[in-house]
A = this chain, B = another copy of it.
Amino acid sequence: MATFRVVLVEPKNEGNVGAVARGMKNFGVEDLVLVNPVPLRAEARQRAMHGVDILERARTVKDLEAAIGLTVGTSGIDTESEKRFARIALSPRELATKLQKAKGQVALLFGREDFGLLEQELRRCDLLVKIPAAERYPILNLSHAVAIILYELFAAKAPKLAVREMSGLEKEKLHASFMGLLDATDYPIHKRSRTQIMFRRILGRAVPSKWEFHALMGVLQGATKRIQRLEGKR
C-alpha cells in the first residue's frame, strides 16, 4: 500500500492538532505536515498522548506545497467546487479500496475547522473524499475526520498488487499535454479550468499505470502535433 502523509491546512485549535497526532499513531501513520498552523503549546502535546513524537517531528510550512504523489482532499462543507464535483466524491471506504493498489506517497489534505479547504486547495486534489454524516450537522471535528479516514485506510491494508503507477512528474506532464490539446483545439477559455479539473479527478480515480500514462500521452500529443502541423501549413 501507499505511504500516507497527513496535511492539516491552517488548523486553528492546537488541541485538535494534538488529537490528530494521537490518531495517526493509533493507525500507524507518522508523517504530519502543518500548513500555517496555530502555535502549538502545552495542550497540543497533552492531547497527542503517545503520538507526541509525531507532533515533534511534524513539518511546518507556510504554504501548501506541490504534492509529490496523489493528493486527496477531504470535505464536509459544501464549497462551490465541491458542489460541482459532489457526484464524484468518494466515501472513506471507497478511497481505501482504491488506494489498496496504490504505491508511492499519498497526501491527505484536511482543511480549517471552520471553512475547510478553499476552492484553490480543492483544485489541486486528485481525489475528493466525503465522510457520510447526518445532513443536519455533517461537520466533523477535525481530529475525528482524520481518525475515521485513517481507520478506513488501516482496515483496508492488504497484500500489494504489483502495478507500476505513473509518477507525480508523469502525472503533471500528462495534465500539461491535456492542456496543450485544449489550447490547440481552441477549447472555450471559460470551460478550460473545470475541464482540466475533471480530467485530473478522472485520472485520480483511475490511478493509471506507467504504460497507460505513455499511451495516453501518445494520444494527446499526437492530436496536438497534428493540429499544429496542419495549422502551420494553412
Contact = CB atoms under 8 A, between A and B. Distances in A.
Nearest to A43: B15
Interface of A is mostly: helix
Nearest to A47: B141
Nearest to A89: B161
Given A93-B155, A212-B198, A27 B134 contact: yes
Interface residues of A, number: 73
Q: What copy number does this chain have within its complex?
A: 2
B26 A139 contact: yes
A206 B205 contact: yes
Contact of A155 (B91, B138, B161, B195): B91
Interface in A73-97: 87-89, 91, 93
Contact of A148 (B89, B151, B194, B195): B151
Interface in A138-184: 138-141, 143-144, 147-148, 151, 154-155, 158, 161, 163-164, 178, 181-182, 184
A129 to B, nearest CB: 12
A42 interface: no
B144 A23 contact: yes
A68 interface: no
Interface in A92-118: 93
A131 B151 contact: yes
A201 interface: yes
Interface of A: 15, 19, 22-23, 25-28, 47, 49-51, 87-89, 91, 93, 131-134, 136-141, 143-144, 147-148, 151, 154-155, 158, 161, 163-164, 178, 181-182, 184-187, 191, 194-195, 198-199, 201-203, 205-209, 211-212, 215-216, 218-219, 222-224, 226-227, 230-231, 233-234
